Amino acid sequence: MRRIVFPLFLGVIFLTFQSTLLAFLPIQSIRPDIVLILTLYLGLFYPPISGGILAVFMGFLMDLFSGNSFGLYTLSRPLIFYAAQFFKGRLYLESFISQFLFVFIFGLGEGFLIFILLDVLNPGPISNLSPLLFTLLLPQVFVTGLVTPIFFFLLHKGFLSFFGHPEMELVERGDRS
């Protein structure tokens, strides 16, 4: 039970900080997406079933407090979670550069996915959003990547102290990693 409740509670806290504390930043385009960092961390260290449910829930929360009428994060967050699961145990992610690049690439991928979904689902053209790929998405994923090592470190310490084991003793049926 606690392996679901603790990350869930963390997700709510991270979302709260993202929508309140980080909203005070003078330049909104450099506001890091810390819920994305948490989702990717879970993708690297959590089993697929419980982690997938958590990713869907966090995407649902993002949609809830967003002006997003389609509910895109409910789909995009579990997708990037499972994409991160593919790299579980296959990538060396101990260094700053590797962690930065990992989150940067996944953040860019999610941004493009959301843009494509918006274009497909919207009845009219959304040429207004094309410049945002450069003025908003790129700076935001860059800053998100920069703060990733700090959050990865804190999350690692937090989960270690809470579960007492780096892998959090989480193994589910069918989990071959």
Partner 1 sequence: MRIRSLFLFRRYSIPVFIIILLLSALIVMSLRVKQRKGIDFADAVLMEFCAPFQKVSNFVIKAIHGVFQEYLFLVHLQRENVVLKQRMAELQKENHQMKEMALANERLYKLLQFREKISPSVTAAEVIGQDPSSWFKSVTINKGEKDGVRTGMAVISPEGVVGQILKTAPHYSTVLLITDYNSAIDSIIQRTRAKAIVEGKGENRCQLKYLLRTEEVIVGDGVVTSGLSGNFPKGLMVGEVRKVDKKGHGVFQYAELVPSVDLTKLEEVLVITGSSLPPQEEKEKKGKKAPVRPSRRRGGS
Closer of 107 and 149 to partner 1 (Cβ): 107
Amino acid type, 92 = Y
Residue 114 Cβ vs partner 1, minimum distance, rounded to whole Å? 6
Closer of 96 and 112 to partner 1 (Cβ): 112
Count the neighbouring beta carbons within 10 Å of the beta carbon of residue 17: 13
Binding site for partner 1 (CB under 8 A): 12-13, 15-21, 23-24, 28-29, 31, 33, 35, 48-49, 52-53, 56, 59-75, 78-79, 82, 111, 114, 118, 121, 126, 128-129, 132, 135-137, 140, 172-175
Pick from 107, 106, 132: nearest CA to 119? 132
Rounded CA separation 171/177 (Å): 9
Closer of 20 and 161 to partner 1 (Cβ): 20
Pick from 121, 106, 132, 129: nearest CA to 33? 106
Residue 95 Cβ vs partner 1, minimum distance, rounded to whole Å? 27
Residue 136 Cβ vs partner 1, minimum distance, rounded to whole Å? 5
* Greatest alpha-carbon span in the chain: 52
